[in-house]
């Protein structure tokens, strides 16, 4: 229970002069200096004193010397103060204390007519502090009614001639007794009230019952001490805690001297009793102020009733009312002296909490709960404190207020700009995609046209079919041309939209809202990028679908062709009409079908070559997936499309590449032990379609002299270059790229007949090969590689067919036909005798060395197969046999060379030469002539 030691609060109120006083022109003996200080009996304004017309500097000796007492109180109110002012300063805090459970008391003290009753009760126009206090009391009770239950009872007593009377019932006298709670008025029944109106009605009733008699000093002089008390019992609804408090408002009778009232008889007796009670009050106040233990409360009923208010458990306010008139000089002086004494009185206040009937266990539980709550709150407070320390105040920056109107304006501008950009991007990419797909179809149709020229039964339908294809190509071309204008228009709009976007971006980032707008712009850029990614994905899917359809068509063609070829081959074989030429072609076809590959150098030069070849024009088939020229701005395309295909569309023009990575296939090829033709392209500038490396080599023959005047035919291999041999080579490269984007088929089979056959199937290669031969280019070309063993070793040969006669194996034929250096060939054949499949590969380092050097140290793999050994042994024997007839060999070679030279002139070299070389004996020649319908 909280206790507090407080002094009585003492306020002095100075009333205005009344009419009666004004009539007597009294002197003002009170001068209010400030809100807490006044001067009693101040100096008057000195009138100049003249004697015989001369101003006297000496004072008027007839006048009394002024006391000029400066007195200090808690509050001093001058004659202009209203009851409301008194209430605000003195009573309002007291009401709050009552609601907190403290007993409170206010009493007004002063001489008769000093304004005590005016202060307490007031009038209609100026309600007194009792009314104002009760009003505030009920206001607070109403506000707390949800949490507390209030019971209010009032009593209104008067002490008249030392008799205690009940003003509300006009009954008495009542006796006083003391118990543990203090002084109790026996038989006093509290009037219960429920609102302020009831209270004020009862107050008015009591006032009417109060003893009043006119005196010389006051026409309505109160001749008794009135004690108005409000008893309040408060019960906390939640906890059941009870408090009982008492607010006492005491209007004392006038403390005037009997002389001033000029009372006689009954009035004199009243005055004597009043003085007696007030004298007792004065004594109590003096002793309380001196801190004495014994206080003579029992000297009067007034002091008994005021015991609590003066020295007990109560917050007390004393309002001393005084008149400023010099007519009441002594009464005012006494009042001020009493007030000064009362100022020293200390009271001890405590909350009047009534012990409740709540079980002890409940209270213990409540205490424990509150203790836990306190611990929890302490922990939270500690955490918050740590956080505050960890985060310096400098980092706690309050975000600046954003001008919403300005922000909305910016956002609408940006939205509009990006909407235009998005529209332009969508149209541009769509048109570009359409153009690319049309170009792709044109290329495929051109390829189909070329195939149609080759594959025909008797040529009768060729022209009709080709005409249809050409018409279709023309239609595609017209579509491309027709949309060109629209595409350019949208590209211009796209560029304009990009410029607008860049402008607004710069302005936004320089504005006051740059920090907010930066994020918004990034979001808009992401939207554009997402739209582009979606369009690119659609484009790639269409390409993929078209290729898929084309692939199916080729599959059907090959399936049907294979069936026809096999049937025809079996038919010819049954008729014993399969000659070597046909057999070679069939074997070549089978090998091609088996995806057999030649040697490919995987080095920087190769990569450069790859890049050169893929440096294509905008409409090439390889550039078909590249839409980057629709995204020249800074918005990048995503690197991964939704279908898992990696798409890299770089920014900035038509020479950027699209990459479709097919890692799994490349890895599978590498694992098979074959050369890694396509290493994974990891750099941006290699982001191209993976394309076959086609090493198209042409063969040429010339007669050379090998020591001792022996002339023999030598074969040189030439790797065509794109730039050195006219437009035909470019055509070849582009066309071959179309054929098998994933397959690497190296035309490395030595032998012009095979090259010729291949050239018929590969129009581009045919062009380059035939033109080379027909032009009869000199094999001394510096770019050529001489065919020695090293060059032959650059190929992989598969000696496979079990049906082949040993002497007819292509391997042996090639070696014999090549007429290589006998010593070198001897070594090679020795090694070959142990091999079924011999693969001679050339590393990057060896490639730079001379062919002879390479030939001396071939690397071999796959050594097994007795049948192949027999085949190789047969070849060696045949070689030695031929070597033994050197003259004939040389003659044959010369003949070949001669024939070749003749063929160059006539353009029929290829077939003739191979016919001569392969038909070494009469039986072969006869069989060949029979099959070919040649008659001797």
Ligand X SMILES: Nc1ncnc2c1ncn2[C@@H]1O[C@H](COP(=O)(O)OP(=O)(O)OP(=O)(O)O)[C@@H](O)[C@H]1O
Residues contributing to the annotated binding site: 110-117
Q: Residue 241 corresponds to which tokens in the numbers above?
A: 């805690």
- In the bound state, the residue with its beta carbon closest to ligand X is 115
**Which one, 116 or 532, has the nearer CB to ligand X?**
116
Minimum separation from the CB atom of position 303 to ligand X (A): 18
Sheet holding 785-786, edge to edge: 698-706, 710-718, 785-786
Q: DSSP class of residue 297?
A: G
Q: Report which of 241, 260, 257, 253 is spatially closest to residue 277, judged by C-alpha positions.
A: 253
How far is residue 640 from each of residues 452, 635, 742, measured CA to CA in Å?
39, 15, 21
Q: Report which of 229, 222, 247, 261 is spatially closest to residue 115, judged by C-alpha positions.
A: 222
**Which one, 114 or 431, has the nearer CB to ligand X?**
114
The Cα–Cα gap between 926 and 932 comes to 10
Dihedral sign (CA 583, 588, 592, 597): positive
Q: φ and ψ at 705, to 5 degrees?
A: -105, 125
Q: Report which of 865, 694, 687, 669 is spatially closest to residue 769, judged by C-alpha positions.
A: 694
**Helix axes 752-761 and 763-775, enclosed angle (nearest 10):** 140
Place of tokens 């003391």: 178
Minimum separation from the CB atom of position 266 to ligand X (A): 15
Query: Which value, in Å, is the radius of gyration of the alpha carbons in the chain?
Result: 63
For residue 461, the tally of other CB atoms under 10 A from its CB is 11
The Cα–Cα gap between 82 and 87 comes to 9
> Vertex 208, ends 202 and 211: CA angle to 5°?
125
Minimum separation from the CB atom of position 118 to ligand X (A): 3
**Which one, 256 or 747, has the nearer CB to ligand X?**
256
Q: Which residues are annotated as part of the binding site for ATP?
A: 110-117
Q: Report which of 511, 320, 530 is spatially closest to residue 425, judged by C-alpha positions.
A: 530
Minimum separation from the CB atom of position 127 to ligand X (A): 13
The Cα–Cα gap between 722 and 732 comes to 9
Minimum separation from the CB atom of position 221 to ligand X (A): 3
Minimum separation from the CB atom of position 117 to ligand X (A): 3
**Which one, 110 or 311, has the nearer CB to ligand X?**
110
The Cα–Cα gap between 48 and 319 comes to 38
**Which one, 116 or 739, has the nearer CB to ligand X?**
116
The Cα–Cα gap between 645 and 540 comes to 9
Binding region for ligand X (CB under 6 A): 15-16, 18, 110, 112-118, 218, 220-222, 253-254, 321
**Which one, 220 or 563, has the nearer CB to ligand X?**
220
- Sort 451 into a burial class: Cβ within 10 Å, 0-12 / 13-18 / 19+: middle
Minimum separation from the CB atom of position 210 to ligand X (A): 9
Q: Report which of 429, 486, 349 is spatially closest to residue 7, judged by C-alpha positions.
A: 349
**Which one, 114 or 444, has the nearer CB to ligand X?**
114
Question: Residue 253 half-sphere exposure, CB side, CA atoms within 13 Å?
Answer: 33
The Cα–Cα gap between 217 and 271 comes to 13
Minimum separation from the CB atom of position 270 to ligand X (A): 11
**Which one, 222 or 759, has the nearer CB to ligand X?**
222
Minimum separation from the CB atom of position 29 to ligand X (A): 16
Q: Residue 143 corresponds to which tokens in the numbers above?
A: 């506000």
The Cα–Cα gap between 95 and 342 comes to 21
Q: Residue 788 corresponds to which tokens in the numbers above?
A: 């020695």
Q: Which are the contacts of 782, defined by CB distance < 8 A and separation ≥ 6?
A: none
**Which one, 228 or 689, has the nearer CB to ligand X?**
228
Q: Residue 102 corresponds to which tokens in the numbers above?
A: 């403290």
Residue 812 and residue 880 in contact, taking contact as beta carbons nearer than 8 Å: no
**Which one, 116 or 772, has the nearer CB to ligand X?**
116
Q: Residue 781 corresponds to which tokens in the numbers above?
A: 């070309």
Minimum separation from the CB atom of position 252 to ligand X (A): 8
**Which one, 113 or 598, has the nearer CB to ligand X?**
113
693 SS3 class: coil
Element at 340 (helix H, strand E): helix 329-342
Minimum separation from the CB atom of position 84 to ligand X (A): 12
**Which one, 113 or 206, has the nearer CB to ligand X?**
113
Minimum separation from the CB atom of position 403 to ligand X (A): 58
**Which one, 220 or 663, has the nearer CB to ligand X?**
220
């Amino acid at each position: 229970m909280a206790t507090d030691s407080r002094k009585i609060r003492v306020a002095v109120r100075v009333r205005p002069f009344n009419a009666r006083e004004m009539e007597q022109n009294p002197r003002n003996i009170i001068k209010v200096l400030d809100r807490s200080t006044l001067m009693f009996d101040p100096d008057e304004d000195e009138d100049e004193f003249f004697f015989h017309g001369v101003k006297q500097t000496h004072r008027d000796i007839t006048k009394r010397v002024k006391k000029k007492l400066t007195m200090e109180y808690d509050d001093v109110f001058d004659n202009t103060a209203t009851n409301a002012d008194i209430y605000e300063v003195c009573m309002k805090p007291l009401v709050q204390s009552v609601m907190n459970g403290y007993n409170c008391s206010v009493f007004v003290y002063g001489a008769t007519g000093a304004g005590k009753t005016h202060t307490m009760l007031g009038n209609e126009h100026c309600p007194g502090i009792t009314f104002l206090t009760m009003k505030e009391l009920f206001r607070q009770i109403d506000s707390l009614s949800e949490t507390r239950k209030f019971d209010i009872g009032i009593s209104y007593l008067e002490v008249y001639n030392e008799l205690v009377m009940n003003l509300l019932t006009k009954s008495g006298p009542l006796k006083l007794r003391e118990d543990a709670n203090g002084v109790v008025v026996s038989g006093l029944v509290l009037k219960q009230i429920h609102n302020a109106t009831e209270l004020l009605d009862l107050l008015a009733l009591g006032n009417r019952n109060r003893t009043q008699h006119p005196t010389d000093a006051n026409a309505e002089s109160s001749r008794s001490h009135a004690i108005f008390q409000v008893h309040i019992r408060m019960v906390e609804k939640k906890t059941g805690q009870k408090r009982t408090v008492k607010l006492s408002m005491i209007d004392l009778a006038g403390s005037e001297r009997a002389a001033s009232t000029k009372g006689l008889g009954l009035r004199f007796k009243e005055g004597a009793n009043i003085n007696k009670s007030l004298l007792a009050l004065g004594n109590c106040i003096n002793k309380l102020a001196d801190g004495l233990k014994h206080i003579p409360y029992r000297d009067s009923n007034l002091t008994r009733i005021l015991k609590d208010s003066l020295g007990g458990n109560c917050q007390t306010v004393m309002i001393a009312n005084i008149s400023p008139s010099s007519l009441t000089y002594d009464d005012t002086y006494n009042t001020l002296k009493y007030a000064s004494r009362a100022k020293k009185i200390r009271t001890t206040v405590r909350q009047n909490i009534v012990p409740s009937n709540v079980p002890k266990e409940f209270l213990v539980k409540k205490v424990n709960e509150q203790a836990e709550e306190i611990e929890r709150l302490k922990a939270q407070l500690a955490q918050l404190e740590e956080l505050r320390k960890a985060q310096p105040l400098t980092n706690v920056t309050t975000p600046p207020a954003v001008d919403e109107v300005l922000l909305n304006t910016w956002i609408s501008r940006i939205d509009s700009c990006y909407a235009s950009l998005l529209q332009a991007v969508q149209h541009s990419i769509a048109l570009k995609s359409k153009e690319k797909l049309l170009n792709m179809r044109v290329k495929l149709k051109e390829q189909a046209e070329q195939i149609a020229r080759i594959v025909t039964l008797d040529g009768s339908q060729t022209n009709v079919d080709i005409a249809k294809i050409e018409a279709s190509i023309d239609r595609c071309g017209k579509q491309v041309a027709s949309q060109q204008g629209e595409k350019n228009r949208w590209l211009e709009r796209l560029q304009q939209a990009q410029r607008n976007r860049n402008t607004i971006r710069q302005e936004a980032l320089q504005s006051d809202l740059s920090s907010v707008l930066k994020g918004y712009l990034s979001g808009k850029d992401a939207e554009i990028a997402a739209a582009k990614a979606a369009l690119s994905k659609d484009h790639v899917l269409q390409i993929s679908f078209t290729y898929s359809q084309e692939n199916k068509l080729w599959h059907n063609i090959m399936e049907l062709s294979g069936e026809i070829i096999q049937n025809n081959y079996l038919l010819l074989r049954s008729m014993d009409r399969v000659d070597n030429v046909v057999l070679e072609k069939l074997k070549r076809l089978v090998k091609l079908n088996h995806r057999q590959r030649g040697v490919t150098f995987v080095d920087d030069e190769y990569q450069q070559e790859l890049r050169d070849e893929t440096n294509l024009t905008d409409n090439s088939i390889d550039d078909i997936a590249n839409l980057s020229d629709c995204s020249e701005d800074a918005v990048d395309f995503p690197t991964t499309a939704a279908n898992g295909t990696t798409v890299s569309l770089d920014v900035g023009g038509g020479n950027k590449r699209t990459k479709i990575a097919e890692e799994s296939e490349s890895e599978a090829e590498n694992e098979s032990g074959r050369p890694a033709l396509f290493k994974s392209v990891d750099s941006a500038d290699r982001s191209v379609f993976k394309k076959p490396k086609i090493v198209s080599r042409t063969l040429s023959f010339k007669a050379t002299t090998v020591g001792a005047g022996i002339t023999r035919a030598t074969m040189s291999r030439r790797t065509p270059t794109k730039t050195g041999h006219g437009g035909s080579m470019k055509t070849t490269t582009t066309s071959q790229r179309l054929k098998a984007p994933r397959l690497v088929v190296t035309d490395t089979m030595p032998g012009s007949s095979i090259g010729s056959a291949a050239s018929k199937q590969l129009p581009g290669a045919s062009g380059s090969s035939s033109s080379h031969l027909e032009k009869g280019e000199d094999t001394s070309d510096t770019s050529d590689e001489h065919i020695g063993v090293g060059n032959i070793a650059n190929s992989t040969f598969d000696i496979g067919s079990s049906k082949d006669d040993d002497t007819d194996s292509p391997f042996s034929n090639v070696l014999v036909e090549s007429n290589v250096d006998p010593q070198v060939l001897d070594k090679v054949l020795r090694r070959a005798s142990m091999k079924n499949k011999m693969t001679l590969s050339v590393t990057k380092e060896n490639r730079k060395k001379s062919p002879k050097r390479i030939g001396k140290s071939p690397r071999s793999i796959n050594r097994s197969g007795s049948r192949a050994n027999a085949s190789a042994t047969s070849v060696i024997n045949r070689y030695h046999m031929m070597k033994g007839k050197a003259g004939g060999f040389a003659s044959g070679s010369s003949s070949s060379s001669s024939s070749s030279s003749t063929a160059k002139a006539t353009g029929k070299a290829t077939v003739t030469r191979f016919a001569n070389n392969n038909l070494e004996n009469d039986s072969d020649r006869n069989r060949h002539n029979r099959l070919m319908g040649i008659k001797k």
